[in-house]
Structure 1
Amino acid sequence: MNQPNHQLSLWLHKRRVADIGYDPLNEGWTLRYTDEWKEDHQAFALSPALPLDAECSSASIRRFIENLLPEGRALDIVASAQGVAKSNVYGLVRALGAETTGAFRFLPHGENGSTEPARIRAREICLAELDERIGERESRPLVEWDGKVRMSVAGYQDKLLVYASGEPGEVPMYLPDFPLASTHILKPEPADARLPHMVANEHFCMTLARRLGLPAASVSIVRTPRPVLAITRFDRLAHNDTSGAWVERKHIIDACQASDLPAAYKYERNIGSVGEAALYRDGVSLPRLFGLLEHATRKAADRLAILRWALFQLVIGNSDAHGKNFSFFVHRSGLQAAPWYDLVSVVQYPQFSHDLAMAFGDEFNLDQIKAFSLADFAQRCGIDRQLLVRECRRLRDGVRQHAAEVANSQPYLADERQLVDKIVELALSQSERLEVMSREASSIPPDMF
């Protein structure tokens, strides 16, 4: 076999843990973990499909890396800035791999990832500069700063990765360069005028989840004065000790990576939802998501976490809860459900499709989910229906107690508050309806499925 033409090395902190080879003419990929890493009793694989002790398939390696890249316009910008095609996964990860989601840095082979560069003055961003850059996004993309493209997390929305030792906006923010890594993700309002007050929308949904005791990431609103959502990264842990400021990276993978599927399969109906295309359901589904529990280290706890995540999407009307919106920490012993993110009430924007990313049973229409759909979902996913009733009741009681309180206690502006109040009204009605349907579902005979 010919040696690959291009190579990258994977680094975790100051340790080289694997080498990736790429043969562009044959579109072939190889992954080899170092002997030192494999012999470490705490070592872990990148994903279940890329094991430590077996040969990894070329297609699985590509799919894993492709899922690290941005999507949509952000991908267009990055590809253009780097002078590579959007389909050139190797070229893109080579350019962006120093600060991807998860624990590992992807560096050109031969580059010493254990050596810290000469100390340079950290690049601070003030609120005024951030506001200026948000205002000129159409002519100067937010992902480019000082001639360098900095977008390296998956997703469609504009994002900026920053380092901050506390709450962004209250403490200085810096563009992260090694040895620092980002601690927060900043998401301004979408440039699309059809998505007003998305920052307040996501902030409320995330804050409500946390108030209900659900494991959502911590968020805050930074005003430049434009609203910007600041999300605390749960795959990063900031330290400040005698050696200075540094950031510990934790390895996470999304459900597409855990399922060994490409990013295009993040929707259950991966081909489309119109006509005959809707019959194909090969993407990430709720049964497939629950199926990943075979790799989990704490199956009962994570089964509950996935169930609560799925039900909460119905409560807030998030039809876009897809396979890249649920992640797992990766340990040597297996997977563990990670905190939630991207919780948005999509139904507040009627001009967009509200087909569910993942069906409950066979039902993709949020308004058409009835008791049978819930029972079918429970049957396919191995959920005890009495547990389903208890969790729906728990959600209803929590929404009753906290939804209005959360809305009134947060610093939303006038127009933002109107939208948040609509989400409160929806959450109250949806949680009541869900609790009633779950009780009805518990009495449907199993032989009907």
Structure 2
Amino acid sequence: MSDDDVLVVWMDGIRVPAGYLYKADTGAIGFAYEQAYVEAGGLPLSLALPFDASEFPDGPARAFFGNLLPENTQLQRIMEREGLERHDVVGLLRHLGADCAGSVSCLPVDAPPVKTPGDLTSDYAILEDETLALIVKSLAEMRRLPVEVGDPSPVAGVQGKIALTRLRDGRFALPKSGMRVPTTHILKVPERGHGRDARLEEASALLAKAVGLDVSIPTAIKVGDYEALLIERFDRRVEGNIVTRIHQEDFAQALGFPSDLKYQRRGRPGRRFDVEAIVSVLDQTADPVGARLAFVTATLFNLCIGNTDNHAKNHGLLYATGATPRLTPLYDLLPIRQDNRYTHQLAFNIGAAEYFDKMAPEDMTAFLAAFGVEDVAGFVEEVVEPMVSRLEDATKPLRTSLKAFDDLIGQETEKLVDVFSVAIDVRERDAFYANPGGWGSGS
């Protein structure tokens, strides 16, 4: 095994390597922690990579580190330039590992750690309004970013996102050239013709907050002729003028699943994103009981707003205070049922139901039981009724601003009330009609 087949894995803020990612002659990869990192009080990289194992084989190693690769044009360009295949995780991270999302970086053996905290007063270059407008236009039209910007972050590219920093005076900035300092925000730009998505995502988050859920609140903004969404990063800590990263992972990483298995329908029993897998993650958090309740409530809320895209990569864990994580705030909330491009199949089954339209009371009872809720009547009184009441109040302004969304919420909330077989008042709306979806695995 040559040095080209080994990468040193670093965690931001720790002076010793977290471990080593390597590729065997067979093409299989593996990962081993550095004992000095464990002794220095470092965090496990993932629930799927605990300290109690000395070495991890291809399955869990590939699932975690493969999820660090960006899903954008940057990855495709590296594959073409270097002649690498998508499955060559070590080879790809050799070129992309310095810019992994989050606190982790994967570097060649002789390279020093590159990720450092950022100083808002000196480490960022101001983004002029004209440049920001060019960036937003490029993302909306799915074109390469302006030459002067390049690909400054692992979220940049064809997905319509760029990571940037908002300074104390409100201006936007990017890390100065060659600096691997953290950004504070993500700017998400819907593709041309779907600008309304920004307002829908903002409205969805505000509704989640109104019903008492912990949620990341994005702000819909207008840049030139395009609508965009400004999202403050919850995996950052800003103290004074210093910005640091907070380690996080999504549920796919925590379960040791590749990103392809983010929907239950793509897996198999024992290796899929189903209720049993979800509960196994929640029970490893700092507050298992609270995490279970939060996840169930969020699931019911998603049903009410027509969001069937709450897959494994849209739920996360945050390591803000040590090795035991807490749930991240909710993010990427969007009423998928309004978009005819995607299937409306649930991201994970509720009981035996794969679609909300097919859900029966016994499906919901089985779902709640899996999370430890046996007193359904008490749960309805303490959780469901207050949530629906708050949602009904919070949706009233949508009647004039996003009427179709309001009509969808009315339809879906009535379904939820029917599933629970209880009498909860739902405001009368106009009927909402939706196409059942375009292609089977696209949501």
Q: 1:386 to 1:12 in 2, by over 3 A?
A: farther
Rounded Cα–Cα distance in structure 1 between residues aligned with 2:271 and 2:14: 39
Rounded Cα–Cα distance in structure 1 between residues aligned with 2:343 and 2:78: 27
1:276 corresponding residue in structure 2 = none
Rounded Cα–Cα distance in structure 2 between residues aligned with 1:364 and 1:20: 41
Does the Cα contact within 8 Å between 2:98 and 2:114 map onto a contact in 1? no
Q: Partner amino acid for 2:366?
A: D
Per-residue CA shift, 1:214-233, capped at 9, x if unaligned? 11112112311211111111
1:45 corresponding residue in structure 2 = 44
Rounded Cα–Cα distance in structure 1 between residues aligned with 2:116 and 2:298: 40
Which of 239, 242, 245 is the matching residue for 1:246? 242
Q: Partner amino acid for 1:374?
A: M
1:185 corresponding residue in structure 2 = 186
Rounded Cα–Cα distance in structure 1 between residues aligned with 2:309 and 2:37: 38
Q: Which moved more, 1:375-384 or 1:312-321?
A: 375-384
Deviation at 1:426, TM superposition (A): 2.2
Does the Cα contact within 8 Å between 1:190 and 1:198 map onto a contact in 2? no
The correspondence of residues 10-409 of structure 1 with structure 2, limited to 5 A, is: 10-13=10-13, 15-23=15-23, 25-40=25-40, 42-59=41-58, 60-71=60-71, 75-77=75-77, 79-80=79-80, 84-113=84-113, 122-137=124-139, 140-142=143-145, 146=148, 148-153=150-155, 157-165=159-167, 170-175=170-175, 178=179, 180-191=181-192, 193=193, 195-225=194-224, 226-240=226-240, 245-270=241-266, 282-330=271-319, 332-384=322-374, 385-386=376-377, 388-389=379-380, 390-405=382-397, 407=398
Deviation at 1:293, TM superposition (A): 2.5
Deviation at 1:3, TM superposition (A): 7.8
Does the Cα contact within 8 Å between 1:199 and 1:221 map onto a contact in 2? yes
Rounded Cα–Cα distance in structure 2 between residues aligned with 1:166 and 1:197: 29
Rounded Cα–Cα distance in structure 2 between residues aligned with 1:29 and 1:186: 34
Does the Cα contact within 8 Å between 1:255 and 1:323 map onto a contact in 2? yes
1:6 corresponding residue in structure 2 = 6
Q: Partner amino acid for 1:55?
A: S
**Count of aligned pairs:** 414
Q: Which moved more, 1:22-31 or 1:227-236?
A: 22-31
Q: Partner amino acid for 1:317?
A: G
Per-residue CA shift, 1:18-43, capped at 9, x if unaligned? 13232253224343333332123x43
Rounded Cα–Cα distance in structure 1 between residues aligned with 2:261 and 2:130: 39
2:436 corresponding residue in structure 1 = none
1:274 corresponding residue in structure 2 = none
Deviation at 1:310, TM superposition (A): 1.1
Deviation at 1:428, TM superposition (A): 3.3
Q: Which moved more, 1:359-368 or 1:86-95?
A: 86-95
Q: Partner amino acid for 1:88?
A: D
Q: 1:228 to 1:77 in 2, by over 3 A?
A: farther
Does the Cα contact within 8 Å between 1:319 and 1:347 map onto a contact in 2? yes
Q: Partner amino acid for 1:106?
A: C
Does the Cα contact within 8 Å between 1:215 and 1:339 map onto a contact in 2? yes
Q: 1:155 to 1:20 in 2, by over 3 A?
A: farther
Q: 1:341 to 1:79 in 2, by over 3 A?
A: farther
Does the Cα contact within 8 Å between 1:14 and 1:114 map onto a contact in 2? no
| SS in structure 2 of the partner of residue 295 of structure 1 | coil
1:413 corresponding residue in structure 2 = none
Moved over 6 A (4+): 1-4, 114-117
Rounded Cα–Cα distance in structure 2 between residues aligned with 1:352 and 1:287: 26
Rounded Cα–Cα distance in structure 2 between residues aligned with 1:343 and 1:147: 29
Q: 1:387 to 1:217 in 2, by over 3 A?
A: farther
Q: Tell me, which stretches of 5 or more residues in structure 1 are unaligned?
A: 272-278, 409-416, 442-449
Deviation at 1:130, TM superposition (A): 2.4
Q: Partner amino acid for 2:373?
A: I
Q: Tell me, which stretches of 5 or more residues in structure 2 are unaligned?
A: 424-443
Does the Cα contact within 8 Å between 1:180 and 1:246 map onto a contact in 2? no
Per-residue CA shift, 1:383-417, capped at 9, x if unaligned? 33245413221220111121224x48xxxxxxxx7
Rounded Cα–Cα distance in structure 1 between residues aligned with 2:78 and 2:363: 42
Rounded Cα–Cα distance in structure 1 between residues aligned with 2:257 and 2:115: 35
Q: 1:398 to 1:98 in 2, by over 3 A?
A: farther
Q: Which moved more, 1:420-429 or 1:348-357?
A: 420-429
Q: 1:121 to 1:248 in 2, by over 3 A?
A: closer
TM-score (norm 2): 0.82
Q: Partner amino acid for 2:314?
A: N
TM-score (norm 1): 0.81
Q: 1:130 to 1:281 in 2, by over 3 A?
A: farther
Q: Which moved more, 1:312-321 or 1:151-160?
A: 151-160
Rounded Cα–Cα distance in structure 2 between residues aligned with 1:394 and 1:358: 25
Q: 1:88 to 1:431 in 2, by over 3 A?
A: same
Does the Cα contact within 8 Å between 2:221 and 2:229 map onto a contact in 1? yes
Q: Which moved more, 1:284-293 or 1:258-267?
A: 284-293
Rounded Cα–Cα distance in structure 1 between residues aligned with 2:297 and 2:75: 32
Deviation at 1:174, TM superposition (A): 2.0
Q: 1:121 to 1:196 in 2, by over 3 A?
A: closer
| SS in structure 1 of the partner of residue 290 of structure 2 | helix
Deviation at 1:262, TM superposition (A): 0.9
1:427 corresponding residue in structure 2 = 409
Does the Cα contact within 8 Å between 1:67 and 1:154 map onto a contact in 2? no
Q: Partner amino acid for 2:132?
A: L
Q: Partner amino acid for 1:306?
A: F
Per-residue CA shift, 1:97-140, capped at 9, x if unaligned? 334333223333232227979x9873332332222233345574
Deviation at 1:248, TM superposition (A): 1.4
Q: Partner amino acid for 1:398?
A: R
Per-residue CA shift, 1:238-271, capped at 9, x if unaligned? 233xxxx432111111111111111110010106
| SS in structure 1 of the partner of residue 354 of structure 2 | strand
Rounded Cα–Cα distance in structure 2 between residues aligned with 1:127 and 1:154: 18
Q: Partner amino acid for 2:293?
A: L
